[in-house]
Structure 1
């Protein structure tokens, strides 16, 4: 910095006797300022301390640190040292037209006014010099800016005509540098706080999305959660059920959120679905312009289309509108978590609607898949096939885990054995065969209590075990009073079967025999789950088994503690440095970076599923 001076005083100020300066005391005072900067003090308190230190060490009476707004034409006081005992209102801003601050910044040199009471260049200082009883003025540019980007200066006032020695100048240079350090330190602290808040919000969003996915919530419910988490407009397209769900409006000038969602349902949804399918097939995620027509005019919107893929099957897409602005870093993290959560939910939908059977069971699947349109027509066709869906019934589902030729070769014997087992204690039961399973439609009446129905399920499991190498899984559904009830009852029962198979259980079972977590595995399918687990955790499981390392346990506890290093270290009895080294080692060995939201989500989900289906 140029230390030359300007105004009505000499350009080279006089010097003090350096032998009279107590450098030890001065350095001690500056050291205290450094400690405060590195401590937990606020920026305002640090700046006040620096101004006070500058005044005391160079022997001047008062001082302040100001930020300069050339745009508004004022210098604003950020910190002040004024030991005057008289209580009076002090100005907190100066017009730049009457202040040397702007000149100091423009020249990048300090401005020294030897006697403000005689200054013709700065008349406002001359008036205030009498009011506040000071003479000399020094304004020093600080080469830093406040948090609004306004440059800062240090201003000192002396009650008598004072000059700045070389030793004083050295002290002031150090004060200015400490001021710069204090501002940069506070800037780093605020950035760290903002980053921590961003990470916390992303982690909370990740947890909410994971919980929704595991709770078997629908795509619309996930979209509603996403709408609350994001400012960026998103439309979700579910290819598995031909569903399009709108969120925030991408064009606030034309639609509010409610109107936009209604228009998506009415006219834009089919167009968005078609555009999303085409983009998913091209596998492009570059920003593009999409045109939507409502019959009267055309809506042009900028968007990015991200396909949702499960095992190479494109199950849906997220249409992210960038008309107003691109998503920020936090929203990108949330979008990555949302993409995975939506894929999980759509994966269930995709698998649910894969059944396409043609046989005596065709009508049954028409019922449970809700493919019927005319209830009277379906009931009539059912009666012709010996099935009565007009009465209250429960489904007794017997799963043999076999299909194809193996099942066909023994289906007659199994059908006969099951019919004998269930018809002996109860009348009016219909038994039909599907690929790999048998379904008994059991009428529910006063004579058939639930206890008796459970005994029936146990009898069927016991009788059929004699014909099989592996005992079957037998599940009794909820009571079905009307056609729509069968779909939900079938889905729940099939989940129980899938859970039982994945956990090696058999016999007569119900959902109460399991916890809530296995529901996701059942919806996805055991083979798909095992492939997913092998892809995410296969290497680390094998390494732990071979080397005896606790890497999988470390990841599990780290995620359970929501990524808090100290809490994880405490739970594992480790020093936090050891934990961080272990996490770094996991990333080096297996490429698992739990700081990335999409990776953290996948690892968390994989660990939960692994704990459920892993062998004892």
Structure 2
């Protein structure tokens, strides 16, 4: 090959300037770099141009896998030999000069490769006949992140001139440009593939949504396929659904508390965030928030959590996923609304005295998991003040939470501005049923003094539906079902039928007629004659038993009873009088429990 001439100056000023052959090689390399060919084709063209037009007859590009300790030849042109040795792709890093380029800027010039201290390099040089070599690091890594080295060899030993080094550095620079371009192309292709995959996933999810499949299963599949976390939160920011891709830690506490991350971002956007990392610090997990049902009292929040750097494609994907989540949740809300309406219709028909279509009611109840004739109890949760907007909102929250808990066998709906639950009767004592209902209501915000919770005696549906509803209504209107606790109709025993008297004023009038004078006497004299009378009647008019219960002497008891007889003008030996007074005492306590005006005298 002709020797290139040394030029005293060039277009860039004094210094070594490549000769005609090197210029031709650079021209071809530049044309290849600008051709948008695949990276492997570009690297092959570079090593081929160097080998064809210069003295460097053996040229390769090597990727260094430092952790594994090996170097892989990813592009090669060999005009020295064509044996099988020239096809060796994997080299131990410790046995080649490229080791000295790790973390350095190079270049490395090997005057005589056959005398190199690197055994594998020297053995290969002797076997294939090259002597001088130059190794240069490339500025850009391979697509998988491995550092790259350009290596050239020639037959003759000796020093390498400045012009040759300048040419090889230009080749390394062009190779780095090719790598940078290829990286951008690879990123674009990866982004396109990700968009296509995401679009296909979302299209499948939307098709499944239109088919009426489970919305939670659809969102879980989207989160897993797109490697994101999805949180859907109530208007009060409580999570109603959380799912994460397989590469994410299972939802839990700390960094895996995806609901908390979503809640913090919602509060930050609303300007109500009280604590947490500064928004100026890029978080390890990004949260994209979309408000569903804006302007509604029952608005929801769809949140997509993604890890990694922020890119335009990732941002577009987040928006697409949020739209899809909104569609899936919206479809689920529509389906839920239709189901709720069907449930409310069935419950409203159940508690009516004369259902409009008994057969349709039986079909609806069977669809709700209450195949007639099944024994159930009815529970009514209502606000003490039905016109209070805040209380209605609390009641709505109670309904939403009870529905979301999905207790097996329990049907929840709305009837006459009250939340109604129908639950199977297990045959246990009513106290067991009360405990079960307390467990269902545990932790529900709003259960307190403002709401009443009444439970009927058991019965068959639909036959006893109206009767059970009437019992709940009696407890509610009589005012004995209050304070947020569960009051059972059976708890009043044989006198439960008297509850209706507590709400129409008859009980007050009867109590006043039989006990009014005695109650006023106790008030004026700070006495306890009413309590003494109650215990006496409960002990079946037995003096010794009554005295022990009151912890007083029998003579003291006799004195009190004489005073009661005098004040009331009654004969306590008369069984009819004792029954009338015992009934008045029981009604008095029921009226007091109901909070009926005039019932608080003791």
Q: TM-score, normalised by structure 1?
A: 0.44
The structure showing larger relative contact order (alpha-carbon pairs under 8 Å, at least 6 residues apart) is 1
TM-score of the superposition, structure 2-length normalised? 0.45
